[in-house]
Amino acid sequence: MKKIGLLGCGAIGTQIALAIDTGKIPAILTHVYDASKDSSIELVSKLNTKPEIVENSHLLSSHPVNIVVEAASQDAVKDIALSVLQNKRDLMIMSVGALLDESIYDILSDACKDFNKTIYLPSGAIAGLDGIKSIKNELESLSITTTKHPRSLKGAKFFENSDINLDAILSPTTIFEGTAKEAVSLFPANINVAALLSLSGIGSEKTGVKIVADPNTDKNTHHIEAAGKFGKMTFTIENFPDTTNPKTSRLAILSAIETLRKYCSNEIQIGT
């Protein structure tokens, strides 16, 4: 069975660990790390098969794991991704926004080739990336409109230089329109889906992002439009938030579990 090291014991990390512990993912969780020791301890207490809590994130890949799973933060990706590959381990990344920094993307892409290892980016909170990847050479336009309750957008850097008062919004209101590249620094906590879309398609400078604050919604909705020589694709994903972390959609967690299950299984693989 494959051995897994887990970085980040929050909403996503906990559900991944439980999926391994209950046999949904055929693997062994051998090591975990979280910047909050309490979170690591709490996670381990929920598991029948106890992984070792390591003292820092770099120690995860110094143990003989097959893959390190990141479910922590963009900073964590910047800190450990290269050393995981150098230690000849595969890597699954949830904090995908980190890869919109082109220098990081290029370094990690080269390292995958140099060390013959793979980085997995689950589809996360969206669907349709299989189609977008297939037609990427024929894409002429690609955009995503994300609609969330104003409280899910609070704290974003964008509001430091904006007159918009989220508490005063009474009907659906477009608060940002630009490229995925611009959105990454202004809405870092909401950018993972736009990052995934642009990396699958035509890049972050050509991928349009619109963010709508809707005080009447209880869902995180993503509407994707792609057009080109192949024809046209539209996808709308209406996500319920996870109960433990409302910023994270349930689909993002299930997508991470499915990616890891596929990595750990020998089977017929469906989909592009």
Catalytic site positions? 222
Nearest distance from C-beta of residue 171 to ligand NAD, angstroms? 27
| Minimum separation from the CB atom of position 170 to ligand NAD (A) | 28
Angle formed at CA 108 by CA 57 and CA 114, multiple of 5 degrees: 105
Task: Say whether residue 212 binds ligand NAD (CB under 6 A).
Answer: no
How far apart are the C-alpha atoms of 129 and 123, rounded to whole Å?
7
Considering the complex, state which of residue 27 and residue 71 has its C-beta at the smaller distance from ligand NAD.
71
Helix axes 11-21, 250-264, angle to 10 degrees: 40
User: Which residues does residue 224 pair with via DSSP β-bridges, in sequence order?
Assistant: 144, 235
CB 195 within 8 A of CB 96: yes
The least CB distance from residue 16 to ligand NAD, in Å, is 9
Nearest-CB residue for ligand NAD? 10
Site for ligand NAD, residues 21 to 60, rule: CB under 6 A = 34-36, 39, 57
Footprint on residues 167-196 left by ligand NAD (CB under 6 A): 189, 192-193
**Nearer of residues 228 and 246 to ligand NAD, judged by Cβ:** 246
Q: Could you say whether residue 221 binds ligand NAD (CB under 6 A)?
A: no
Span interacting with ligand NAD, options 82-90, 91-99, 111-119, 198-206, rule CB under 6 A: 91-99
DSSP state letters, 2-70: EEEEEE--SHHHHHHHHHHHTTSS-EEEEEEE-SSHHHHHHHHHT-SSPPEEPSSTHHHHHSS-SEEEE
Q: What are the phi and psi torsion angles at 72 (to 5°)?
A: -125, -75
Is 16 among the residues that bind ligand NAD (CB under 6 A)? Answer: no
